[in-house]
Amino acid sequence: MILDRYFARRFLQSFLFIGAVFMTLILLIDLIEQVRRFDEADLSLGQLLQLTLLNAPAAISEMLPLLMILATIALFVGLARSSELVVTRSIGRSGIRALVAPVLVSAVIGVLAVAMLNPIVAATGEEYQRLADTYRNGGNSALSISGEGLWLRQGTEAGQSVIHANGFGEEDEFALLDVTILTYAKDGGPVRQIVAESARLGDGVWVLENAKAWPLAAGLNPETNAAVHERLELPTTLTRDRILDTLGQQGTVSVYDLPQLIQDLQQAGFSTKQYEVWLHAELARPLFLISMVLVGAVFTMRHVRFGGTGVAVLTAVLLGFALYFVRNFAQILGENGQLSVYLAAWAPPIAAILLPLGLLLHAEDG
Protein backbone atom coordinates (compact mmCIF):
# COMPACT_ATOMS: atom_id res chain seq x y z
CA MET A 1 0.00 0.00 0.00
CA ILE A 2 2.86 2.37 0.83
CA LEU A 3 4.49 1.57 -2.51
CA ASP A 4 1.20 2.24 -4.33
CA ARG A 5 0.91 5.64 -2.66
CA TYR A 6 4.49 6.40 -3.66
CA PHE A 7 3.83 5.53 -7.32
CA ALA A 8 0.57 7.49 -7.26
CA ARG A 9 2.30 10.55 -5.81
CA ARG A 10 5.13 10.37 -8.35
CA PHE A 11 2.67 10.02 -11.20
CA LEU A 12 0.54 12.94 -10.01
CA GLN A 13 3.62 15.13 -9.61
CA SER A 14 4.73 14.33 -13.16
CA PHE A 15 1.24 15.03 -14.47
CA LEU A 16 0.98 18.41 -12.73
CA PHE A 17 4.49 19.51 -13.74
CA ILE A 18 4.06 18.57 -17.41
CA GLY A 19 0.59 20.11 -17.41
CA ALA A 20 1.95 23.39 -16.03
CA VAL A 21 4.69 23.52 -18.68
CA PHE A 22 2.28 22.83 -21.55
CA MET A 23 -0.32 25.23 -20.17
CA THR A 24 2.21 28.05 -20.03
CA LEU A 25 3.24 27.47 -23.64
CA ILE A 26 -0.36 27.24 -24.83
CA LEU A 27 -1.35 30.46 -23.04
CA LEU A 28 1.49 32.33 -24.73
CA ILE A 29 0.63 30.90 -28.15
CA ASP A 30 -3.10 31.55 -27.70
CA LEU A 31 -2.44 35.13 -26.58
CA ILE A 32 -0.59 35.75 -29.84
CA GLU A 33 -3.48 34.15 -31.72
CA GLN A 34 -6.01 36.42 -29.99
CA VAL A 35 -3.92 39.47 -30.92
CA ARG A 36 -4.00 38.36 -34.56
CA ARG A 37 -7.70 37.43 -34.51
CA PHE A 38 -8.89 40.71 -32.99
CA ASP A 39 -6.34 42.98 -34.61
CA GLU A 40 -9.04 45.23 -36.12
CA ALA A 41 -11.03 45.42 -32.87
CA ASP A 42 -8.26 47.35 -31.07
CA LEU A 43 -8.62 45.45 -27.78
CA SER A 44 -6.62 46.18 -24.64
CA LEU A 45 -4.15 43.70 -23.19
CA GLY A 46 -6.59 42.95 -20.38
CA GLN A 47 -9.35 42.01 -22.83
CA LEU A 48 -6.97 39.80 -24.80
CA LEU A 49 -5.83 38.08 -21.61
CA GLN A 50 -9.46 37.53 -20.64
CA LEU A 51 -10.15 35.81 -23.98
CA THR A 52 -7.00 33.73 -23.61
CA LEU A 53 -7.91 32.57 -20.11
CA LEU A 54 -11.44 31.70 -21.24
CA ASN A 55 -9.86 29.39 -23.84
CA ALA A 56 -7.57 27.76 -21.26
CA PRO A 57 -10.04 25.13 -19.86
CA ALA A 58 -10.79 23.86 -23.37
CA ALA A 59 -7.05 23.57 -24.05
CA ILE A 60 -6.56 21.60 -20.82
CA SER A 61 -9.40 19.28 -21.75
CA GLU A 62 -7.91 18.59 -25.19
CA MET A 63 -4.43 18.04 -23.76
CA LEU A 64 -5.40 15.44 -21.16
CA PRO A 65 -4.54 12.33 -23.25
CA LEU A 66 -1.14 13.77 -24.16
CA LEU A 67 -0.46 14.76 -20.55
CA MET A 68 -1.37 11.27 -19.39
CA ILE A 69 1.01 9.51 -21.72
CA LEU A 70 3.87 11.95 -21.06
CA ALA A 71 3.37 11.74 -17.27
CA THR A 72 3.47 7.93 -17.50
CA ILE A 73 6.65 8.03 -19.59
CA ALA A 74 8.28 10.46 -17.16
CA LEU A 75 7.30 8.26 -14.20
CA PHE A 76 8.58 4.93 -15.52
CA VAL A 77 11.70 6.28 -17.19
CA GLY A 78 12.58 7.91 -13.85
CA LEU A 79 11.86 4.68 -11.96
CA ALA A 80 13.93 2.68 -14.43
CA ARG A 81 16.92 5.03 -14.20
CA SER A 82 16.91 4.87 -10.40
CA SER A 83 16.47 1.07 -10.55
CA GLU A 84 13.32 1.35 -8.45
CA LEU A 85 11.45 -0.91 -10.85
CA VAL A 86 14.17 -3.56 -10.43
CA VAL A 87 13.80 -3.35 -6.66
CA THR A 88 10.02 -3.51 -6.99
CA ARG A 89 10.25 -6.69 -9.07
CA SER A 90 12.82 -8.17 -6.67
CA ILE A 91 10.31 -8.08 -3.81
CA GLY A 92 7.88 -10.12 -5.88
CA ARG A 93 5.69 -7.35 -7.29
CA SER A 94 5.17 -7.54 -11.07
CA GLY A 95 5.34 -4.56 -13.38
CA ILE A 96 1.61 -4.84 -14.05
CA ARG A 97 0.93 -4.62 -10.30
CA ALA A 98 3.02 -1.43 -10.20
CA LEU A 99 0.62 0.06 -12.76
CA VAL A 100 -2.38 -0.13 -10.45
CA ALA A 101 -1.68 3.21 -8.73
CA PRO A 102 -1.11 5.27 -11.91
CA VAL A 103 -4.19 3.68 -13.51
CA LEU A 104 -6.35 4.58 -10.51
CA VAL A 105 -5.04 8.15 -10.50
CA SER A 106 -5.78 8.47 -14.23
CA ALA A 107 -9.29 7.10 -13.67
CA VAL A 108 -9.92 9.70 -10.94
CA ILE A 109 -8.62 12.46 -13.23
CA GLY A 110 -10.88 11.17 -16.00
CA VAL A 111 -13.95 11.20 -13.75
CA LEU A 112 -13.11 14.73 -12.58
CA ALA A 113 -12.65 15.79 -16.20
CA VAL A 114 -16.17 14.61 -17.03
CA ALA A 115 -17.87 15.77 -13.83
CA MET A 116 -16.11 19.11 -13.26
CA LEU A 117 -13.87 20.16 -16.15
CA ASN A 118 -16.52 19.58 -18.82
CA PRO A 119 -19.05 22.05 -17.30
CA ILE A 120 -16.25 24.58 -16.82
CA VAL A 121 -15.24 24.22 -20.48
CA ALA A 122 -18.87 24.67 -21.53
CA ALA A 123 -19.31 27.83 -19.45
CA THR A 124 -16.02 29.45 -20.48
CA GLY A 125 -16.52 28.47 -24.12
CA GLU A 126 -19.96 30.09 -24.17
CA GLU A 127 -18.58 33.24 -22.54
CA TYR A 128 -15.73 33.36 -25.05
CA GLN A 129 -18.19 33.19 -27.94
CA ARG A 130 -20.28 35.95 -26.40
CA LEU A 131 -17.31 38.27 -25.93
CA ALA A 132 -15.90 37.47 -29.38
CA ASP A 133 -19.21 38.37 -31.04
CA THR A 134 -19.41 41.54 -28.97
CA TYR A 135 -15.91 42.67 -29.92
CA ARG A 136 -16.42 41.85 -33.60
CA ASN A 137 -19.95 43.10 -34.19
CA GLY A 138 -20.72 45.45 -31.30
CA GLY A 139 -23.37 42.98 -30.18
CA ASN A 140 -23.51 39.32 -29.33
CA SER A 141 -25.28 36.51 -31.14
CA ALA A 142 -26.87 33.54 -29.45
CA LEU A 143 -28.71 30.44 -30.53
CA SER A 144 -30.78 27.98 -28.54
CA ILE A 145 -33.11 25.13 -29.40
CA SER A 146 -36.02 23.88 -27.34
CA GLY A 147 -39.20 21.96 -27.88
CA GLU A 148 -40.78 25.27 -28.96
CA GLY A 149 -38.38 25.64 -31.89
CA LEU A 150 -35.25 27.61 -32.64
CA TRP A 151 -34.37 30.92 -30.99
CA LEU A 152 -31.66 33.10 -32.50
CA ARG A 153 -30.34 36.45 -31.36
CA GLN A 154 -28.12 38.54 -33.60
CA GLY A 155 -26.37 41.86 -33.14
CA THR A 156 -25.66 44.51 -35.75
CA GLU A 157 -24.63 48.16 -35.66
CA ALA A 158 -28.32 49.14 -35.81
CA GLY A 159 -29.27 47.06 -32.77
CA GLN A 160 -30.39 43.58 -31.76
CA SER A 161 -32.88 41.18 -33.33
CA VAL A 162 -34.53 38.13 -31.80
CA ILE A 163 -35.60 35.46 -34.30
CA HIS A 164 -37.91 32.55 -33.57
CA ALA A 165 -38.56 29.72 -36.05
CA ASN A 166 -40.84 26.72 -35.72
CA GLY A 167 -39.03 24.73 -38.38
CA PHE A 168 -35.72 24.32 -40.09
CA GLY A 169 -35.19 23.61 -43.78
CA GLU A 170 -31.80 23.02 -45.32
CA GLU A 171 -31.33 21.81 -48.85
CA ASP A 172 -29.04 23.94 -50.98
CA GLU A 173 -29.54 26.97 -48.75
CA PHE A 174 -29.97 27.62 -45.05
CA ALA A 175 -33.61 28.49 -44.30
CA LEU A 176 -35.87 28.92 -41.28
CA LEU A 177 -39.61 28.25 -41.48
CA ASP A 178 -42.57 30.01 -39.83
CA VAL A 179 -40.43 32.90 -38.62
CA THR A 180 -41.14 35.70 -36.13
CA ILE A 181 -38.60 38.52 -35.73
CA LEU A 182 -38.54 41.28 -33.14
CA THR A 183 -35.97 44.02 -33.76
CA TYR A 184 -34.64 46.39 -31.10
CA ALA A 185 -32.95 49.76 -31.38
CA LYS A 186 -29.55 50.43 -29.84
CA ASP A 187 -31.19 51.91 -26.77
CA GLY A 188 -32.95 48.59 -26.18
CA GLY A 189 -36.52 49.49 -27.20
CA PRO A 190 -38.47 47.37 -29.74
CA VAL A 191 -38.95 49.06 -33.11
CA ARG A 192 -40.48 46.42 -35.40
CA GLN A 193 -42.08 42.98 -35.45
CA ILE A 194 -41.98 40.80 -38.56
CA VAL A 195 -43.78 37.54 -39.31
CA ALA A 196 -42.72 35.58 -42.41
CA GLU A 197 -43.29 32.19 -43.97
CA SER A 198 -39.55 31.62 -44.31
CA ALA A 199 -36.21 33.32 -43.81
CA ARG A 200 -33.35 32.38 -46.11
CA LEU A 201 -29.82 33.37 -45.18
CA GLY A 202 -28.17 35.31 -47.98
CA ASP A 203 -24.98 37.36 -48.23
CA GLY A 204 -25.19 39.59 -45.15
CA VAL A 205 -29.01 39.57 -45.08
CA TRP A 206 -31.98 37.44 -44.12
CA VAL A 207 -34.28 37.19 -47.14
CA LEU A 208 -37.84 36.97 -45.81
CA GLU A 209 -40.61 35.53 -47.99
CA ASN A 210 -44.27 36.58 -47.66
CA ALA A 211 -43.54 38.80 -44.68
CA LYS A 212 -45.71 41.22 -42.73
CA ALA A 213 -44.05 43.98 -40.66
CA TRP A 214 -45.56 46.03 -37.84
CA PRO A 215 -43.83 49.24 -36.67
CA LEU A 216 -43.65 49.56 -32.89
CA ALA A 217 -42.96 53.28 -32.58
CA ALA A 218 -44.75 55.35 -29.96
CA GLY A 219 -47.91 57.03 -31.22
CA LEU A 220 -48.40 54.67 -34.16
CA ASN A 221 -51.12 52.07 -34.58
CA PRO A 222 -49.11 48.93 -35.50
CA GLU A 223 -51.88 47.24 -37.49
CA THR A 224 -52.84 50.37 -39.40
CA ASN A 225 -49.23 51.02 -40.39
CA ALA A 226 -48.37 47.38 -41.08
CA ALA A 227 -46.89 46.50 -44.47
CA VAL A 228 -46.97 43.23 -46.40
CA HIS A 229 -43.89 42.24 -48.44
CA GLU A 230 -43.43 39.36 -50.83
CA ARG A 231 -39.69 39.74 -50.20
CA LEU A 232 -38.05 41.65 -47.37
CA GLU A 233 -34.37 41.86 -46.45
CA LEU A 234 -33.07 42.12 -42.88
CA PRO A 235 -29.33 42.85 -42.37
CA THR A 236 -27.33 40.29 -40.40
CA THR A 237 -23.73 39.58 -39.45
CA LEU A 238 -24.38 35.84 -39.25
CA THR A 239 -23.29 33.32 -41.84
CA ARG A 240 -24.51 29.84 -42.60
CA ASP A 241 -21.27 28.31 -41.30
CA ARG A 242 -21.42 30.26 -38.03
CA ILE A 243 -24.97 29.10 -37.34
CA LEU A 244 -24.22 25.48 -38.19
CA ASP A 245 -21.01 25.65 -36.15
CA THR A 246 -23.04 26.92 -33.20
CA LEU A 247 -25.45 24.03 -33.62
CA GLY A 248 -22.49 21.66 -33.68
CA GLN A 249 -20.47 23.17 -30.84
CA GLN A 250 -20.84 20.46 -28.25
CA GLY A 251 -17.97 22.10 -26.35
CA THR A 252 -20.30 24.87 -25.19
CA VAL A 253 -22.82 22.38 -23.77
CA SER A 254 -22.25 20.74 -20.40
CA VAL A 255 -22.43 16.98 -20.21
CA TYR A 256 -25.22 17.46 -17.67
CA ASP A 257 -27.28 19.44 -20.21
CA LEU A 258 -26.67 17.17 -23.20
CA PRO A 259 -29.51 14.67 -22.52
CA GLN A 260 -32.10 17.48 -22.36
CA LEU A 261 -30.59 19.16 -25.42
CA ILE A 262 -30.79 15.90 -27.37
CA GLN A 263 -34.46 15.57 -26.43
CA ASP A 264 -35.17 19.18 -27.46
CA LEU A 265 -33.37 18.71 -30.78
CA GLN A 266 -35.40 15.61 -31.53
CA GLN A 267 -38.65 17.44 -30.78
CA ALA A 268 -37.58 20.32 -33.04
CA GLY A 269 -36.73 17.96 -35.90
CA PHE A 270 -32.93 18.27 -35.82
CA SER A 271 -30.43 15.44 -36.10
CA THR A 272 -29.00 14.42 -32.71
CA LYS A 273 -26.32 11.93 -33.83
CA GLN A 274 -23.50 14.39 -33.23
CA TYR A 275 -24.61 15.16 -29.68
CA GLU A 276 -25.29 11.52 -28.80
CA VAL A 277 -21.81 10.50 -29.91
CA TRP A 278 -20.31 13.43 -28.00
CA LEU A 279 -22.19 12.49 -24.81
CA HIS A 280 -21.01 8.88 -24.87
CA ALA A 281 -17.47 9.90 -25.86
CA GLU A 282 -17.33 12.15 -22.80
CA LEU A 283 -18.60 9.35 -20.57
CA ALA A 284 -15.94 7.04 -22.02
CA ARG A 285 -13.14 9.56 -21.43
CA PRO A 286 -11.85 7.93 -18.19
CA LEU A 287 -11.30 4.68 -20.10
CA PHE A 288 -9.36 6.48 -22.82
CA LEU A 289 -7.13 8.22 -20.26
CA ILE A 290 -6.43 4.83 -18.66
CA SER A 291 -5.42 3.51 -22.07
CA MET A 292 -2.93 6.36 -22.45
CA VAL A 293 -1.29 5.32 -19.15
CA LEU A 294 -1.00 1.73 -20.38
CA VAL A 295 0.45 2.85 -23.72
CA GLY A 296 3.05 5.00 -21.99
CA ALA A 297 4.00 2.17 -19.62
CA VAL A 298 4.25 -0.66 -22.12
CA PHE A 299 7.36 0.79 -23.82
CA THR A 300 9.10 2.32 -20.80
CA MET A 301 8.83 -0.33 -18.07
CA ARG A 302 12.27 -1.77 -18.67
CA HIS A 303 15.72 -1.03 -17.33
CA VAL A 304 17.73 1.67 -19.08
CA ARG A 305 20.71 -0.66 -19.47
CA PHE A 306 18.88 -2.31 -22.35
CA GLY A 307 19.15 0.99 -24.27
CA GLY A 308 16.73 2.35 -26.83
CA THR A 309 14.93 4.59 -24.35
CA GLY A 310 14.52 7.38 -26.90
CA VAL A 311 13.01 5.02 -29.46
CA ALA A 312 10.69 3.54 -26.83
CA VAL A 313 9.47 6.99 -25.79
CA LEU A 314 8.90 8.02 -29.41
CA THR A 315 7.04 4.78 -30.13
CA ALA A 316 4.78 5.28 -27.11
CA VAL A 317 3.93 8.86 -28.13
CA LEU A 318 3.27 7.87 -31.74
CA LEU A 319 1.04 4.97 -30.68
CA GLY A 320 -0.85 7.34 -28.37
CA PHE A 321 -1.41 9.77 -31.25
CA ALA A 322 -2.54 6.89 -33.48
CA LEU A 323 -5.12 5.76 -30.91
CA TYR A 324 -6.28 9.36 -30.48
CA PHE A 325 -6.73 9.64 -34.25
CA VAL A 326 -8.67 6.35 -34.38
CA ARG A 327 -10.92 7.58 -31.56
CA ASN A 328 -11.69 10.85 -33.34
CA PHE A 329 -12.20 9.06 -36.66
CA ALA A 330 -14.67 6.65 -35.05
CA GLN A 331 -16.58 9.61 -33.59
CA ILE A 332 -16.80 11.21 -37.04
CA LEU A 333 -18.15 7.95 -38.46
CA GLY A 334 -20.67 7.82 -35.64
CA GLU A 335 -21.80 11.40 -36.24
CA ASN A 336 -22.29 10.60 -39.94
CA GLY A 337 -24.30 7.49 -39.15
CA GLN A 338 -21.66 5.07 -40.45
CA LEU A 339 -21.27 3.49 -36.99
CA SER A 340 -23.69 3.09 -34.12
CA VAL A 341 -23.39 5.61 -31.31
CA TYR A 342 -22.19 3.06 -28.75
CA LEU A 343 -19.66 1.48 -31.10
CA ALA A 344 -18.23 4.86 -32.14
CA ALA A 345 -17.87 6.12 -28.56
CA TRP A 346 -16.96 3.03 -26.54
CA ALA A 347 -15.10 0.69 -28.90
CA PRO A 348 -11.94 2.84 -29.39
CA PRO A 349 -11.23 3.33 -25.64
CA ILE A 350 -11.81 -0.35 -24.91
CA ALA A 351 -9.60 -1.41 -27.82
CA ALA A 352 -6.99 1.14 -26.71
CA ILE A 353 -6.90 -0.55 -23.29
CA LEU A 354 -6.75 -4.11 -24.59
CA LEU A 355 -3.89 -3.47 -27.04
CA PRO A 356 -1.24 -2.22 -24.56
CA LEU A 357 -2.57 -4.60 -21.89
CA GLY A 358 -1.85 -7.52 -24.22
CA LEU A 359 1.65 -6.18 -24.90
CA LEU A 360 2.26 -5.77 -21.16
CA LEU A 361 1.15 -9.33 -20.42
CA HIS A 362 3.43 -10.61 -23.15
CA ALA A 363 6.39 -8.56 -21.85
CA GLU A 364 5.87 -9.52 -18.20
CA ASP A 365 4.85 -13.15 -18.50
CA GLY A 366 6.37 -14.02 -21.88
Domains and CATH numbers, the chain: 2-135+257-365 (no CATH), 142-237 (2.60.450.10)
* pLDDT of the residue at 82: 78
Distance CA(317)–CA(18), nearest Å, equals: 14
Q: Give the pLDDT confidence score for residue 272 in this predicted structure.
A: 78
pTM for this predicted structure: 0.76
pLDDT at 241: 62
> Which pLDDT score is estimated for 172?
46
pLDDT tens digits for the chain (366 residues)?
788 888 899 999 999 999 999 999 999 999 999 888 888 777 888 888 999 999 999 999 999 999 999 999 998 888 877 777 767 777 766 767 788 889 999 999 999 999 999 999 988 988 887 788 777 765 555 666 666 677 787 777 677 888 888 776 654 456 788 899 888 887 777 888 999 998 888 888 888 999 998 888 777 787 878 888 888 888 887 776 666 555 555 566 788 888 887 887 776 666 678 889 989 999 999 999 999 999 988 888 766 566 677 888 888 899 999 999 999 999 999 988 888 999 999 999 999 999 988 888 876 664
Question: φ and ψ at 141, to 5 degrees?
Answer: -110, 145
